Structure 1
Amino acid sequence: MLAMACFQKQKTPFICLTILTLVFWLNWVPSVAELQRLEHHGKSDESLGFLVIGDWGRGGLYNQSEIAFQMGRIGKKLDIDFVISTGDNFYDNGLKGVNDPAFQESFTKIYSQKSLQKPWYSILGNHDYRGDAKAQLNPMLRKIDSRWICLRSFTLNTGSADFFFMDTTPFVDVYFTDPEERVYDWRGIYPREIYLNNLLKDLDSALRNSTAEWKIVVGHHAIRSISHHGDTLELIDQLLPVLEMNGVDFYVNGHDHCLQRISCPDNRIQFLTSGAGSKAWRGDDKKHDKCAVHFFYDGQGFMSMQLKSTEAKMVFYDVFGQPIHQWSVSRMLHSEM
């Protein structure tokens, strides 16, 4: 837009070049390292507890408020350290800006219980990119609610576990080739190929350098799923090989509005979907011809995870806060208990 205006108004080549350079650097070139580094110091015994919720921001509707209440109850019981949001934080079209009242109406006022007044480590989903994506990333939101920590991609070191939060939406081709007349806020990720290459290189380096007992990757889109969206082929092709080569234990995602646990015979990763924070898709499930589906639930709910140096315990909860599936994994044996 600026470039066209520049030449239409017949400005001098020097001025045009200056404008184009500013546009290029401010909006189109990704940073050299996409993964920012954060630390969270937990309990003295290095144990860790947290909740995982995705696809939630609907102003309390579609049982979002009921789920929030049960999260508060479970969060208190488990003495959680933080909450992870797997994206699609504000429906249907993200935030309009940093002063959008949806931030408080769908986040601050809903997740108000004491046990949830902990850091919320969040990433963007495809619906968040349909609004002002940079608004969710703006540190100004922390002045409204200090819990909110949202970055495109980042690592979180807690001692016994390292978390790797990945911006998965730019991987998915359909948002670029067939956006269905929707406008996505792609500022900051162009050129797309360079952005994705840098992201994968930085993830690979961070995973290889990690000495944590547990390696957990968080993204919005599912790698493996039997629900509405199914497997994300672009992530299978580009992201999954990096996870397999670097001994990742869990891949945690949202996007499909369900709870599910899947594992595949060709790697040790467990694929965990927690995208049931509000509206769910009843009866929308498929079979999987390559992987084992250990659990699938097509109602609203959330997940908890408790980590120790040698054991991880996971639980899926329904809208009433009842455990509907739980299991544990030994880090020493790396087998299901």
Structure 2
Amino acid sequence: MMALALAYILIAAIPVAYCYPTAFQDLKHSSTNRTSIRFLAVGDWGGMPYPPYITAVQKATAREMSKVAEQMGADFVLALGDNFYYKGVDSVDSPRFQETFESVYTAKSLKVPWYVIAGNHDHAGNVKAQIEYSTKSDRWKFPSYYYELNFHIPNTGKTLTIIMLDTILLCGNSDDFSDQKPRGPLRAVDANRQLTWLQERLARSKADFLLLAGHYPVWSVSEHGPTECLLQKLHPLLLKYKATAYFCGHDHNLQYIEESGVGYVVSGAGNFLDPDITHWNQVPKGSVKFFTGQASTLGGFVHAEVTKDKMIVTFFQAKGTSLYRTVLSQRSFE
């Protein structure tokens, strides 16, 4: 009995859980004739640490996100990290939640769940405070550092799984003022725990569409380039388990790269823009299908729609037009 009591105390004493139990999420407002799931993906949207706490790019992108969500539908938003520049937040009571998030994405069409992961700038502050904020906000959903989302695609019998990763726990933080490369995880035990969890989830997944999301890119042609650690640890798993796509931010632009049947979506244009193509030759030849980081776009994000047999991904610029669209097919288990 004593041992059991001790076990409960130990479990209770574990700080914020690193991963999260998985169950199917039910879509709110799902009409009876719906046959798809739709969502937005935006990264690196985290404003500024001084007044007015937002940038022109963030404001323009938020406005266009609300229009696209209204016209094309959005059941939820994937927030791909760097949620608060430059050093995250220090506590759950930080005014930044209001200034950079709640009072920016105010449209009714964006009052949907925001599934959040942390970026390198968030890890410079208190990520646990961001996780804790889930209890204070109706739409901020950040249950743990990494977690899995499962959805039934309405009226189709098909399923969508999205695995949200913490690439900073996996690979280490990157210093934006040196050479910007992650130097390896702060705690190898945390990195290994996440990797083991991920492998188990992937091996078990029978989802018709399997998406992964993290802050760091696997492939990128821009300033930060491909993330070596993810090429070693994650890339083989994406191929082995036939992932549909990998979503990320970190580089402040929009990119679509396709390699070995996996789509790589970089959506990091929520707050800044960077047209840099330093690493153009460091990705597989012919894999870059789309790139923009021009200031004239005013910012950007991605809209995705998952139907019974395909996923349609559309890249939008904040000044109000779609720039690129691609279609990915469902996983085959042959």
TM-score interval, normalised by the smaller of the two chains: 0.7 to 0.9
| Corresponding residue number in structure 2 for 1:227 | 222
Match in the other structure for 1:287: 280
Task: Show structure 2 runs of 5+ residues with no match.
Answer: 1-9, 48-52, 153-158, 179-184
How far, CA to CA, are the matches of 1:312 and 1:194 in structure 2? 35
Of residues 52, 77, 98 in structure 1, which corresponds to 2:41? 52
Are residue 327 (structure 1) and residue 326 (structure 2) matched?
yes
CA distance in 2, matches of 1:100, 1:124: 16
SS at match of 1:92: coil
After superposition, the CA RMSD in angstroms is 2.5
> Amino acid of the residue matched to residue 38 of structure 2?
G
1:179, 1:272 → 2: CA distance? 22
Residue from 2, 5, 22 that aligns with 1:37 = 22
**Structure 2 CA distance, aligned partners of 1:228 and 1:153?**
26
CA contact (8 A) 1:166 1:218 kept: yes
Which amino acid in the other structure matches residue 102 of structure 1?
Answer: R
Question: For 1:229 and 1:211, how far apart are their aligned partners in 2?
Answer: 33
Kindly provide the CA deviation profile for residues 123-147 of structure 1, in whole angstroms up to 9, marking residues without a partner as x. Answer: 0000001111111011x4432x210
Read off the aligned partner of 1:54 and give its amino acid letter.
Answer: G
- Consecutive aligned runs of 4 or more in structure 1 exceeding 6 Å deviation: 178-181
| Correspondence for 2:161 | 162
Give the drift of 1:331: 2.4
Paired residues for 1:152-301 under 5 Å: 152-159=145-152, 160-173=159-172, 175=174, 192-264=187-259, 267-291=260-284, 292-299=287-294, 300-301=299-300
The one-letter amino acid paired with 2:151 is: T
Is the Cα–Cα contact under 8 Å of residues 55 and 254 in structure 1 kept in the other structure? yes
Partners of 2:192 and 2:105 in 1: how far apart? Answer: 36
Listed as ranges, the gaps of 5+ residues in structure 1 are: 1-21, 182-189
Using the TM superposition, give the Cα deviation of residue 113 of structure 1 relative to its aligned residue in structure 2, in angstroms.
0.2
**Alignment-derived partner of residue 78 in structure 1:** 72
Q: Distance in 2 between matches of 1:141 and 1:115?
A: 19
Q: Is the 8 A contact 2:88 2:122 kept in 1?
A: yes
TM-score computed with the length of structure 2 as normaliser: 0.82
Structure 2 distance, partners of 1:122, 1:173, is 19
May I ask how many residue pairs the two structures share in their alignment? 295
Assess if the C-alpha contact under 8 Å between 1:251 and 1:272 holds in 2.
yes
Distance 1:67 1:191 in 2: 33
Asked if structure 1 preserves the Cα contact closer than 8 Å seen for 2:66 and 2:107, the reply is: yes
Shift of 1:332: 7.2
Letter of the 1:165 counterpart: M
Which structure is larger by alpha-carbon Rg, 1 or 2? 1
Give the share of equivalent positions with the same residue, in percent: 30
- For 2:140, the equivalent position in structure 1 comes to 148
